[in-house]
Amino acid sequence: MDSPETPAPGAADSRRDPAKLAEAAQQTNWHVYRMTPTRTGDMPVALNPEAAASHVQNVIDWRINQLPPEVPLPEYIHDKLPGIYNFVAKVAGVDVDSLPELSAADDHDRHGLHIPMLGHAYIAPHATEGLPEHVEKFYQAMTESTAVHEIAHGVANADPGLTHNTVIMTPQTGGTSYDYVMTEAGGLGKTHFYTKEGTPQTGQTLSFLREGWAETLAMRYMAEQELNGELAPNYPFVYTTAEGEQLPIGPKYVVMCEGMWGVTQTSLAAYAMDMLDECLATINPSSRQLFDIMRDMQHVETQIQAQQELAATLNSLQPGLYKELTTLAYTESDMVKGYKIAQELKTLMVP
């Protein structure tokens, strides 16, 4: 398999073409509604395709304009991209050219982001100028892990037919702004964008499991590169919360390079999935791993069956567990909550 076209790195080589992003977004499914007053209250009324077209384009332009400024993709990431794309495609069972283009951005709020609506992902590289060589290599490894993680999220909308965008307008806006935009990609949850007093807000569902899936794939790649905690399998790796609580993390879910190591809050979700798999194995040694079930949720021919299997599998561990985990948000407190649920189940079920 060939990886997506990868031009040489440099300031003149933009990897974020607004026209291509807009074209990719147009190929997904769009549903546009206007909230219309009735005797029983406001009801969503679907706009016909002709009337919806301009609103779809406005939303796409709005989302593109929200992207942080692009910066050149670091050479150390550029050189690894063919291997990253091929690894993700092989593990996820998708074509390489269906995965999102990866760019780099000047974003101080996050390490990276995948935007399902646009079929695009970016990373925010760690600044390494002036650092000792071993520290620089460690931060490069962390950025490499983020690149795999964000590209892995793109598996969810490798099939454009599984990506649905819903736009809702209220009478007060006159249709000139968009109160609610939701993107659902590949069965792995929904991303919401909406305005509240003129300020863009975001929210997500199924975040805990979705982040755990992408992080598990990234850590499998890092293990193949010999850049994870299995280099020191007996070391007591931990994730330290904002409140200072230390939560043990398995070595498979730790980035390690040059004697330094690091974890993120998505490591909590990945390790929690691992602990849940251990619990499932005590009930049925032939149980499918959660990662494999969730991979099948991202393929059109197996999505519905796999989603039903995921719910039944989680609820076999504890009634209501599927709903509890799939309603967790992408916040540290919810990641910790999901981790502790899995930790408690493992304590009860695994000898």
In angstroms, the CA 31 to CA 33 distance is 7
Q: Which range has the worst mean pLDDT, 37-51, 122-136, 146-160, 194-208? A: 194-208
pLDDT over 90, % of the chain: 61
Question: What are the DSSP calls for 39-87, one per residue?
Answer: TTS-EEEEPPHHHHHHHHHHHHHHHHHTSPPEEPPPHHHHTTHHHHHHH
In angstroms, the CA 180 to CA 196 distance is 9
Whether the per-residue pLDDT at 186 is higher than 70: the answer is no
Residue position matching structure tokens 């399902």:
116
- DSSP structural state of residue 96: G
In angstroms, the CA 288 to CA 316 distance is 13
- Which element (helix H / strand E) includes 103? strand 101-105
Residue 196: the pLDDT is 46
CA angle 27, 33, 36 (to 5 degrees): 170
Residue 300: the pLDDT is 86
Residue 2: the pLDDT is 43
Q: Which amino acid is at 249?
A: I
Q: Which amino acid is at 50?
A: E
| Averaged pLDDT score across all residues of the chain | 87
| pTM across the whole model | 0.89
- In terms of pLDDT, which residue wins out, 14 or 32? 32
- Cα separations (Å) of 4 from 73, 166, 218, 230? 15, 29, 19, 31
Residue position matching structure tokens 């003129």:
198
Residue 1: the pLDDT is 40
- In terms of pLDDT, which residue wins out, 239 or 161? 239
What confidence tens digit (pLDDT) does each residue in 261-313 have?
A: 999 999 999 999 999 999 999 999 999 999 999 999 998 889 889 999 999 99
Q: Residue 274 is encoded by which pair of tokens?
A: 């691992």
